[in-house]
């Protein structure tokens, strides 16, 4: 006898063998026991979740001569034996992908008139029913609504959105769920014991994971591994090698390299993947899933209820997610998702991967809003270190304070227009859009003398970014509100304090203007010591 693939050999024979679809099995079993069998069913779900298998089991049970109290077929009566041997004339399977014309449906309409040769029902299983043409659906409508009492229609599809509403309303709809990784892994372990094949638990769990909820996919991958490593113990590394996949630890290393802006480490990982002959497209898909898992671990209080992984792996995810901003993770997912799309027609996907990794490691290469946020986060890290550097300089050179001399000339008076702008600076910042506002959230406005408006930045990095990228927008907004031309000068806190002492002296006499300046300096100093997070 020729070899039978695992997914065919171990296709469920009764309802109790069906994995992960308890809500459907229980409903169909109760309908059979209570004789409330419908004339038309619609089975929806992704590939490999058991739609056709459940349809065949249901067809066998409704024709069984000795159904058990639990709603299972006996498997020994003549009808059951005919069905199990695929000789029954009462179960008609139709592939709508290749039989999708009006003439095919007309043949069904003619056939349903005749009673079954054996058993109670003729069951029509129409697979991939969404592939029927519009004319074929119209031809099926009346028969599907009022078929003879001895006919049952079971329509199976992976894309219910393409089925007309008139068809949907005539069927009882059952949605097949993706089978959980743990359920698939448990089934695979049981089958490997029957096959007497040695497979490590980690290898089985990985196969169950990449099957993406489909039992048939999992059995096909496992069948391929058994054939390639015939007579050997199948390990996780062997599965990775056969499928061109990468160990999960690599994605933790890659993420750390991206967070630390380590170009060299990211490029080394890419080189290792290429040398080992791994599938780059699969690597990108797995990286997207890793970033998604990190996002879930960071933003949920109980990630175990969402992430279908081992406790140790979820713990590692939570540990790494603590050090990454959620906006950064969404940027990683966006860039790699765009990469996955562009790789489908690329002749050299490695180059695209390297470019994407450089984008992630160097936010300055992008101008998108999430890349700008990454740059702000990096600036905030530098700002947190700023107080130590400032204190160190002052302690190292205390003589600077003694060298400052009183000014010979009196300060020039500050116009009222500049003072009004300074007092209403918070309201002016609210006029900017959210992205530009994020650059100015810690920036204060001040004056010293004459008609100059000083914008005081807590760090040189933030000053340079704002001045080079947003100078025109800041000037236009301020002048539009003031309805006058305004001189604007960008300064850091150190520069502002230095100018202040040069103009008013090291120990200025207390006036209304010096009090306002001292208040502004204190506000900026608090910003440096306690940075405000950018929303």
For residue range 49-73, what is the model confidence (pLDDT) as tens digits?
999 999 999 999 999 888 888 788 8
Burial 211-243 (b: 16+ CB within 10 A, else e): bbbbbbbbbbbbbebbeebeeeebbbebbbeeb
Instruction: Specify whether the CB–CB gap between 89 and 116 falls below 8 A.
Output: yes
Instruction: Specify whether the CB–CB gap between 70 and 102 falls below 8 A.
Output: no
What one-character DSSP code corresponds to residue 97? T
The DSSP result for 152-163, as a single string, is: EEEEEES-GGGS
Nearest CA to 376 among 246, 482, 288, 465? 465
Distance between CA atoms of 215 and 181, rounded to whole angstroms?
10
Number of Cβ within 10 Å of residue 510's Cβ equals: 8
Cα separations (Å) of 451 from 254, 415, 425, 515, 521?
Answer: 52, 6, 16, 18, 19
Instruction: Specify whether the CB–CB gap between 453 and 428 falls below 8 A.
Output: no
Cα separations (Å) of 528 from 360, 393, 417, 451?
Answer: 27, 16, 28, 27
Helix (H, G, I), strand (E, B) or coil at 300: coil
248-365, what's its fold?
A: Zinc Finger, Delta Prime; domain 3 (1.20.272)
Q: What is the band of 131 on the pLDDT scale with cuts at 50, 70, 90? A: very high
Instruction: Specify whether the CB–CB gap between 87 and 49 falls below 8 A.
Output: no
Which pTM value belongs to this model? 0.62
> Edge-to-edge strand order for the sheet containing 40-44?
91-95, 122-127, 151-157, 40-44, 172-175
Nearest CA to 227 among 240, 216, 239? 239
Q: Which of 272-281, 358-367, 387-396 has the lowest mean pLDDT?
A: 387-396
411-529, what's its fold?
A: GMP Synthetase; Chain A, domain 3 (3.30.300)
What residue has token string 């405000």? 532
Q: How many helices (H) and strands (E) does the chain have?
A: 25, 8
Distance between CA atoms of 216 and 7, rounded to whole angstroms?
6
pLDDT of residue 530: 42
Reported CATH class of domain 6-175: alpha beta
Which CATH number is associated with domain 181-243?
A: 1.10.8.60
Instruction: Specify whether the CB–CB gap between 529 and 521 falls below 8 A.
Output: no
> Edge-to-edge strand order for the sheet containing 452-457?
444-446, 452-457, 487-492
Q: End-to-end CA distance of the chain, in Å?
A: 68
pLDDT of residue 99: 87
pLDDT of residue 525: 67
Q: What is the band of 414 on the pLDDT scale with cuts at 50, 70, 90? A: confident
Distance between CA atoms of 304 and 188, rounded to whole angstroms?
22
Instruction: Specify whether the CB–CB gap between 294 and 336 falls below 8 A.
Output: no
pLDDT of residue 391: 47
Burial 61-99 (b: 16+ CB within 10 A, else e): bbbbeebeeebbbbeebebbebbeeeebebbebbebeeb
Tokens for 191?
Answer: 């089958």
Distance between CA atoms of 118 and 418, rounded to whole angstroms?
97
Instruction: Specify whether the CB–CB gap between 96 and 131 falls below 8 A.
Output: yes
Give the residue extent of every domain in the chain.
6-175, 181-243, 248-365, 411-529
Q: What is the band of 323 on the pLDDT scale with cuts at 50, 70, 90? A: confident
Instruction: Specify whether the CB–CB gap between 149 and 37 falls below 8 A.
Output: no
Tens of pLDDT, residues 272-293: 988 888 889 889 999 999 999 9
pLDDT of 168 > 80? The answer is yes
């Amino acid at each position: 006898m020729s070899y039978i693939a695992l997914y065919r050999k171990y296709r469920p024979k009764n309802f109790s063998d069906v994995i992960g679809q308890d809500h459907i099995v229980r409903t169909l079993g109760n309908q059979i026991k209570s004789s409330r069998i419908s004339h038309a069913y619609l089975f929806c779900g992704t590939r490999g979740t058991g739609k056709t298998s459940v349809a065949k089991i249901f067809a066998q049970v409704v024709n069984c001569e000795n159904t058990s109290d639990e709603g299972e077929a006996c498997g020994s009566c003549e009808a059951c034996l005919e069905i199990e041997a695929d000789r029954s004339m009462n179960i008609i399977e139709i592939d709508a992908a290749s039989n999708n014309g009006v003439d095919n449906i007309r043949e069904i309409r003619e056939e349903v008139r005749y009673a079954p040769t054996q058993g109670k029902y003729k069951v029509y299983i129409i697979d991939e029913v969404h592939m029927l043409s519009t004319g074929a659906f119209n031809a099926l409508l009346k028969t599907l609504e009022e078929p003879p009492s001895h006919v049952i229609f079971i329509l199976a599809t992976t894309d219910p959105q393409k089925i007309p509403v008139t068809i949907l309303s005539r069927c009882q709809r059952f949605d097949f769920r993706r089978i959980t990784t743990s359920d698939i892994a448990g089934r695979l372990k049981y089958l490997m014991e029957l096959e007497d094949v040695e497979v490590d638990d980690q290898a089985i769990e990985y196969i169950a994971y990449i099957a993406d909820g489909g039992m048939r996919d999992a059995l096909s991958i496992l069948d391929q591994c058994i054939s390639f490593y015939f007579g050997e113990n199948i390990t996780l590394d062997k599965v990775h090698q056969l499928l061109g996949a990468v160990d999960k630890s690599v994605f933790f290393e890659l993420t750390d390299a991206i967070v630390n802006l380590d170009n060299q480490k990211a490029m080394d990982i890419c080189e290792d993947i290429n040398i080992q002959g791994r599938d780059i497209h699969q690597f990108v898909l797995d990286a997207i899933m890793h970033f998604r898992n990190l996002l879930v671990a960071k933003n949920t209080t109980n990630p175990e209820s969402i992430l279908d992984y081992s406790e140790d792996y979820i713990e590692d995810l939570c540990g790494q997610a603590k050090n990454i901003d959620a906006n950064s993770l969404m940027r990683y997912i966006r860039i790699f998702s765009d990469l996955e799309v562009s790789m489908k027609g690329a002749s050299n996907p490695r180059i695209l991967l390297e470019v994407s990794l450089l984008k992630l490691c160097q936010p300055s290469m992008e101008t998108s809003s999430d890349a700008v946020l990454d740059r702000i986060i990096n600036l905030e890290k530098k700002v947190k270190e700023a107080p130590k550097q400032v204190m160190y300089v002052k302690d190292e050179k205390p003589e600077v304070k003694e060298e400052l001399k009183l000014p010979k000339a009196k300060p020039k008076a500050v116009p009222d227009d500049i003072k009004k702008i300074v007092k209403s600076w918070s309201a002016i910042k609210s006029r900017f859009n959210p992205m530009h506002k994020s650059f100015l959230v810690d920036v204060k406005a001040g004056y010293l003398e004459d008609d100059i408006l000083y914008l005081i930045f807590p760090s040189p990095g933030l000053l340079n970014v704002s001045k080079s990228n947003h100078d025109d927008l800041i000037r236009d907004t301020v002048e539009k509100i003031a309805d006058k031309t305004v001189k604007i000068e960008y300064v850091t806190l150190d520069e502002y304090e230095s100018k202040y002492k040069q103009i008013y002296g090291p120990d200025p006499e207390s006036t209304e203007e010096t009090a306002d300046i001292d208040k502004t300096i204190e506000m900026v100093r608090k910003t440096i010591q306690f940075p405000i997070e950018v929303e």
